[in-house]
Chain A
Amino acid sequence: MITRGFSSGRKPPTDADARIPPGQYLEQGFPVLSAGPTPRVRTEDWSFTLKHGPRPIKTWNWTEFNALPLAKMTRDIHCVTAWTKFDTAWQGVLVDDILADAGIEPPTAFTLALSFDGYTTNVPTQDLTAGKAMVALLYEGKPITPDHGGPARLLVPHLYFWKSAKWLNGLQFTERDEPGFWELRGYHIYGDPWREQRYTSDP
């Protein structure tokens, strides 16, 4: 349906078009979204735990975690509130390298990302491995600010950005695909921006 009187003044250049998923617009800033207040997690208090169900597999403190191999990922990110930002530059530890340090293969097909504030989000394990995702520690070369999920956030750039959990403190392997915080509140179980999987009712 064409909207009377609305014209495409802001249309991005066509070479950018192919990088913008349906229903998204290009944003230069970096808006903040979260369900509650911003937790201030001190690196002294920070830890990261890998779990299989309720059972901890391995825990790292901040120093130990920072000793893992650092990788770079520069990716476009897509927020479900309809903005897309190009070329965001992150550094952190690939989920592959975390698993390698723990000496395990992924034990189940599903994973829940866990955060300090109780937030959770589910991601199929295969979307986290093979270089697809990391636990990010730096944004544009600097420590990630609390508003953007620091000290550490998950980065799964090929899914809508709510899957990239802020204030991350663990990954938990689960037997079933367990809906997380937003997934229980009307958002899509998988969240592929290219298929516009925003809300539960989207195919």
Chain B
Amino acid sequence: MSDRPAAQSPWQTVTISRIEKRTPRVTSFFLEPSRPFAYRAGQHVDVRLTAPDGYQARRSYSIASAPEAGETIELAIERLDDGEVSPFFHDIAAVGDEVELRGPLGGHFVWSDSDGGPLLLVGGGSGVVPLMAMIRHRAARKSTVLVALVFSARVWDEVIFRDELIDLHDRRDGFDLVLALTRESARRPADYSRRLDVAMMEQSMLRLPAPPRFAFVCGSNAFVSAAAQALIDAGVPASLIRTERYGV
């Protein structure tokens, strides 16, 4: 078609090196890039699958690992039963398989410790993934920025990265975890057993010594709309709120 030398494709082949079940519906896939891959906490990648007849499906997934974690990229993918790409990962993908990946992508829903804080993070379900990258980045940098995460999940067993988050919280070094379980009673003293609301946002802000410098909200569209509105009603200026919507 063209006799120009082909530019390097933005897509690269990555190999699945490890698969780890996180919750009944969420599994982590660890990918080894074939080219250097430097990213910032909060960014995402596009993944592309190709069928023998040439048909391709492409979806975005946030990076769960911290930039400091080395070459391996962790994605945490929730299974949507009637979906196309997420069931492929859950049911078919195996260690040693290759998929195509492009990225890192996104320059708005990102944070690094040099951006400062305090930070208020609000995640619903798999929306915690890019927030996890920020929390891990903070821990890896031994940052002193104060961070509160309000994480909404249906039940205790669906709290993705639960043990790791509770460990980080228990260090008492400025990271605070608040869980909001919507279909089960709370197990930790400061947790909630209801959907996110304005009062919860107000109380979570009191866990920070000063008003947040940034608030990051991620999850399904309905979750992000409700959480962002609750933050505004709790007095967080809209200009400080950054959102990432997973679509449906």
Contact = CB atoms under 8 A, between A and B. Distances in A.
A32 interface: yes
B7 interface: yes
B1 interface: no
Contact of B51 (A7, A33, A35, A181): A7
Contact of A8 (B13, B53, B106): B53
B50 A37 contact: no
A6 B248 contact: no
Nearest to A27: B247
A34 B49 contact: no
A147 B225 CA distance: 8
A4 B97 contact: yes
Nearest to A118: B239
Q: Secondary structure at chain B's binding surface: helix, strand, loop or mixed? A: mixed
A81 interface: yes
Q: Secondary structure at chain A's binding surface: helix, strand, loop or mixed? A: loop
Contacts of A3: 49-51, 88, 97-100
B114 interface: no
Nearest to B232: A37
B248 A29 contact: yes
A42 B57 CA distance: 39
A142 interface: no
B10 A202 contact: yes
Interface in B86-143: 88, 92-93, 97-100, 105-109
* Most chain A beta carbons < 10 A, residue from B51, B93, B217, B239: B51
B72 to A, nearest CB: 20
Interface string A168-203: 000000000000011011100000000000010111
Given A5-B93, A36-B239, A37-B243, 18 more contacts: A3-B99, A5-B88, A6-B49, A6-B57, A6-B88, A11-B51, A23-B58, A25-B57, A25-B58, A31-B221, A32-B225, A35-B109, A36-B238, A37-B231, A82-B58, A117-B238, A147-B221, A185-B107
7 cross-chain pairs, A with B, having the tightest CB-CB distances, nearest first: A185-B107, A8-B55, A37-B228, A8-B51, A5-B92, A31-B247, A3-B49
Interface of B: 7, 10, 13, 46, 48-53, 55-60, 84, 88, 92-93, 97-100, 105-109, 217, 221, 225, 228-229, 231-232, 238-239, 241-243, 245, 247-248
